[in-house]
Amino acid sequence: MENVNQNAQEFFKGLWKENPIFVSVLGMCPTLAVTNTAINSLAMGLATTFVLVCSSILVSALKSVIPKQVRITSYIIIIATFVTVVDFTLAAFTPDIHKELGAFIALIVVNCLILGRQEAFASKNSVGLSILDALGMSAGFSFALLCIGIPREILGSGSLFSFSLFGDKFEPWVVMILPPGGFFMLGFLLLIFNWYAQRRKAHG
Amino acid sequence: MSEENQHIEEQEPSSAKLVLALGIAGLLSGFVLVGTFLFTNPYIKANQQAAIERAILNVIPNCDSFSTLVLTKSGLEIKNTDNNEKEEADKEELLIYAGFNLQGGLIGFAIPGSEPGFQDVISSIYGYNNVNKTIIGFEVLESKETPGLGDKIIKDQDFQVNFKSLSVEPEIITVKKGEKENKNEVEAISGATISSKAIVRLLNKSIALWQPAIDQYVNDNNIEVTK
């Protein structure tokens, strides 16, 4: 029973208690850059999920083989390999999304969320736990990207997943799909998140 | 003492081992990447080709088929599509496309061109009829212009209408919205003047570059261009 509990904990901590964006504030580059539409947020979330889960499996499985002195280099090789696979695959099968995300796919390599999980978790835990941790963290990351991307698209383009919501009468808030919109939305959500966390703490 | 030495040795693997570990990692990574590349490359190439074809048919109205022309020192020539030729570096070549209607008559040329815009280089393709000296269609292939403002050059219908029949003589100029009087004027998008002007600059430069080559090609080959 305790085992099941621990497994669940490793998964759910990424969603809420240790959410990579709202709590750890990791991976800000894609968070701000590609959340101008819901579909871009989703695509970036899925791409990061794939890379994080695959890297965690490999790093966890190879943790006894990889010499400590060159572990970071090895992690980066592993991560970069999966990122390039994602890059080619998106270009081949979803060229439109690939064009939208552009350089930010390649930049998943340096998303510190991914390297951080390898160093902090996958290199010290079993493959099973590492998968749960990676899935939880990716789900938390994707959830946070969507939390930013959905309101930005609704306010900035008047649409959701490219479906027009308000018709012609709506005047889009262009600033929301420009870079400042990302900062506004992220700041606003961090405010809510921290306010809620403090209130919970205060109420015991 | 000797025990302690051994302990330290265990902690510090030899350099050879470290190099080997990274070497193997790199090698495996290489296999995976080359495998993925070989698998996805045909799809990526096909996507690019399809995008170009779609754009050509879009910028030359009523276009049914097209052939690729390459600019050589002696002028425009129909590009050989032998496999040997394809292997050469495609990027260096200056290409345009001749569009034909259903009856096989030449109805215009599709010409790719690029020019720095507000944020980054705008790359585009436009249709050109060299008898009327008119631009007959225009499409942006790639741009990073400001979303909501500069990127209207792609979507804005009012702006696109400018290029349905735009005379290139004496040269194309931008005017404010609603002030178009002559056939060589383009109504700029309010809020995206720089992007609009970049498009006009692109077209003027590109026409100046290609006009002589196209005229020579049409004269040399005695091709009748349908109006």
Separation between Cα atoms, residue B195 and residue B159, nearest integer Å: 11
On the question of pLDDT at B9 being above 70, the answer is no
Percent of chain B exceeding pLDDT 70 equals 87
Average pLDDT of chain B is: 81
Average pLDDT of the residues in B187-206: 88
Q: State the pLDDT at residue B87.
A: 46
- The two three-digit tokens of residue A182, written as one number: 């990302």
pLDDT value for B100: 86
Q: And the tokens for A77?
A: 């090789």
Residue found by looking up tokens 């009087």 in the block: B181
What's the CA angle centered on A104, arms A100 and A110, to 5 degrees?
170
Where is B13: in which H helix or E strand?
none
Residue B85, pLDDT > 50, answer no
pLDDT at site B219: 82
Of A67, A73, A78, the CB nearest to B17: A67
Q: Which residues of A touch B47 (CB under 8 A)?
A: 91-92, 95
* pLDDT average, residue stretch A15-30: 85
Residue A147 or B82, more confident: A147
Single-letter amino acid, residue A6:
Q
What is the amino acid identity at position B56?
I
Question: The pTM is what?
Answer: 0.78
The answer to whether the CB of B115 falls within 8 A of the CB of B121 is yes
Residue B6 neighbours by CB under 8 Å, 6+ apart: none
What is the Cα–Cα distance from B71 to B79, expressed in whole angstroms? 9
**pLDDT tens per residue, range B26-58:** 999 999 999 999 999 999 999 988 888 888 888
The number of residues in chain B equals 227
What crossing angle do the helices spanning A71-93 and A38-61 adopt, rounded to 10°? 140
Averaged over A25-50, what is the pLDDT? Answer: 90
Domain extent listing, chain B? 60-220
Query: In terms of pLDDT, which residue wins out, B89 or A65?
Result: A65
> Is the CB of residue A178 less than 8 Å away from at least one CB of chain B?
yes
Residue carrying structure tokens 């959340």: A35
Which of B13, B21, B43 is closest, CB to CB, to A92? B43
Q: Which residues contact A84 (CB under 8 A, 6 or more apart)?
A: A106, B33, B36
CB contact under 8 A, A84 and B36: yes
| One-letter-per-residue 3-state SS of A1-64 | CHHHHHHHHHHHHHHCCCCCCCCCCCCHHHHHHCCCCHHHHHHHHHHHHHHHHHHHHHHHHCCC
| Lowest model confidence (mean pLDDT) among A21-35, B69-83, B123-137, B149-163 | B69-83
A154 touches A34 (CB < 8 A): no
Q: With a cut of 70, say whether residue A172 has pLDDT above it.
A: yes
| Contact between residue A18 and residue A120 where contact means Cβ atoms under 8 Å apart | no
The Cβ of residue B40 has, within 10 Å, a number of other Cβ atoms equal to 18
For the cut 60, the answer to whether the pLDDT of residue B65 exceeds it is yes
Measure the CA–CA gap between A79 and B33, rounded to whole angstroms.
12
Helices (H), B60-192: 83-87, 152-155, 157-161
Residues A114-136 have pLDDT tens digits of 999 999 999 999 999 999 999 99
Token pair for B58: 């879009």
Angle between helix axes B15-59 and A71-93 (nearest 10 degrees) is: 20
Task: Write the pLDDT tens digit of every residue in A75-122.
Answer: 999 999 999 999 999 999 988 888 888 778 888 998 889 999 999 999
Query: What is the pLDDT, as a whole number, of residue B91?
Result: 52
Please say whether the beta carbons of A11 and A135 come within 8 A.
yes
Q: Give per-residue pLDDT as tens, B154-180.
A: 878 888 888 888 888 888 888 887 777
Confidence (pLDDT) at A145: 94
Supply the pLDDT for residue B226.
Answer: 66
Question: Which of A74, A88, A156 has the CB atom closest to B21's CB atom?
Answer: A74
Give contacts of A 39-68 with B, CB under 8 A.
65-67
In angstroms, the separation between the Cα of residue B212 and the nearest Cα of chain A is: 35
Q: Which residue has the tokens 């002589």?
A: B212
Three-state secondary structure call for residue A35: coil
Q: What is residue B81's predicted lDDT score, i.e. its pLDDT?
A: 58
